[in-house]
Amino acid sequence: MCGIVGLYLKDPALEPRLGALFQPMLLAMADRGPDSAGFAIYGDEVEDTRLKFTLQSEDPGTRWGDLADSLRQDLGVNVDWFTNATAAVIKTDGQEADVRSWLAGQAPGVSLMSVGRSIEILKGVGHPRLVANRFGLDQMAGSHVIGHTRMATESAVSMEGSHPFSTGLDLCLVHNGSLSNHNRLRTRLQNEGMSFETENDSEVAAAYLTWRMNRGETLKQALESALDDLDGFYTFTIGTRDGFAVLRDPIACKPAVMAETDAYVAMASEYRALARLPGIADARVWEPEPGRVYVWQNAQTNREETGT
């Protein structure tokens, strides 16, 4: 079944409260997905010469400091880092490909969750409340966040199989539904140079968007292409460095509701996840139309909506 939620702040004054506003939204969807949960939060942006690598390990004995020191010495790069429960965020001026290759060879048992200038993905197995509390979600600040509560239907319950999935810089996706052509599409994308960490159909959807955008398409254009190339039932919420987007398939079997005020844009699988947001009584509330792309970008950019 699964539940998805997203919150994009148009009012920067709310950014210190992002996690506190978002956590009740995520927890309201716990009964739609009690197996595992995760979220991608955007904030604490690094300089344009650096990247953030969010890593997770299920081994509580992981020596993150030793890993950071080895990365610094082996690649000759600057490294800053901090930990959050089972995760670590590495900030470095190293090249993405070099750091990825080093992690693959030198950090067995460590999973790379996300790479970008702003994004941090944190996720895990267990009830969404446990996952949120583990990472201190309610204390986090940022500009926007998307999240997911999972009830597994097509792959094992694991940290790697939980959402969000990230396949490009600062881009990630959460998904409620299932894709019927993901195996064929995975092969096509592998032939185009994309790689995959799981068998999850949602990772294929994320990789598809990355592939399209790497070819020069905007997020809006990539999602419009997805309406032709992705078969199945889905509601997607996509996070980017600048904002987020929502898309339902042309039949719209999977639920979604949105709310917008002067201060924020929010989405969820069900209205009850939005009910505690400030000003919700005066918000514009609507159900996203089937096959229509909704994109919100930074506060200086007006809302963009396209229909098919």
- Give me the pLDDT at residue 307, please: 43
pLDDT band for position 153 (50/70/90)? low
- Give me the pLDDT at residue 155, please: 60
- Give me the pLDDT at residue 301, please: 41
Judge whether 253 counts as a catalytic residue.
Answer: no
User: Tens digit of pLDDT for each residue in 198-256?
Assistant: 888 889 999 999 999 999 999 999 999 999 999 999 999 999 999 999 999 999 989 99
pLDDT of 305 above 70: no
Q: Which position among 2, 41, 172, 189 bears the catalytic label?
A: 2
CB-CB contact of 23 with 136 (8 Å):
no
User: Tens digit of pLDDT for each residue in 94-131?
Assistant: 999 999 999 999 999 999 999 999 999 999 999 999 99
CB-CB contact of 202 with 194 (8 Å):
no
Claim: this prediction has a pTM higher than 0.75: yes
CB-CB contact of 172 with 121 (8 Å):
yes
CB-CB contact of 45 with 302 (8 Å):
no
**Distance from C-alpha of 246 to C-alpha of 244, rounded to nearest angstrom:** 7
**Distance from C-alpha of 46 to C-alpha of 203, rounded to nearest angstrom:** 26
- Give me the pLDDT at residue 277, please: 98
pLDDT band for position 300 (50/70/90)? very low
Token duo for residue 201: 């159909």
H or E element, residue 72: helix 64-75
pLDDT, the chain, mean:
92
Token duo for residue 160: 């790697």
Ramachandran class of 232: left when φ > 0, alpha when ψ lies in -120 to 50, beta otherwise: left
* Number of Cβ within a 10 Å radius of residue 193: 8
**Distance from C-alpha of 145 to C-alpha of 265, rounded to nearest angstrom:** 11
Looking up tokens 């939980």, which residue turns up? 162
Instruction: Identify which has the larger pLDDT, 80 or 151.
Output: 80
- Give me the pLDDT at residue 122, please: 97
Token duo for residue 14: 């709310």
User: Tens digit of pLDDT for each residue in 155-195?
Assistant: 666 667 678 999 999 999 999 998 898 999 999 999 998 98
- Give me the pLDDT at residue 154, please: 59
Mean pLDDT throughout 23-27?
Answer: 98
- Work out the end-to-end distance of the chain between its first and last CA atoms, rounded to an integer number of angstroms: 26
Looking up tokens 């009012």, which residue turns up? 11
Among residues 283, 269, 291, which one has the least CA distance to residue 146?
Answer: 269
- Give me the pLDDT at residue 303, please: 47
User: Tens digit of pLDDT for each residue in 38-91?
Assistant: 999 999 999 999 999 999 998 989 999 999 999 999 999 999 999 999 999 999
Token duo for residue 82: 């901090």
Ramachandran class of 73: left when φ > 0, alpha when ψ lies in -120 to 50, beta otherwise: alpha
Backbone torsions φ then ψ of 53, nearest 5 degrees: -115, 115
CA distances for 120 relative to 6, 76, 147, 225, 261, angstroms = 15, 24, 12, 27, 26
Backbone torsions φ then ψ of 198, nearest 5 degrees: -140, 175
- Give me the pLDDT at residue 124, please: 92
- Give me the pLDDT at residue 249, please: 95
Instruction: Identify which has the larger pLDDT, 172 or 196.
Output: 172
Report the alpha-carbon angle 92-94-98, nearest 5. 135
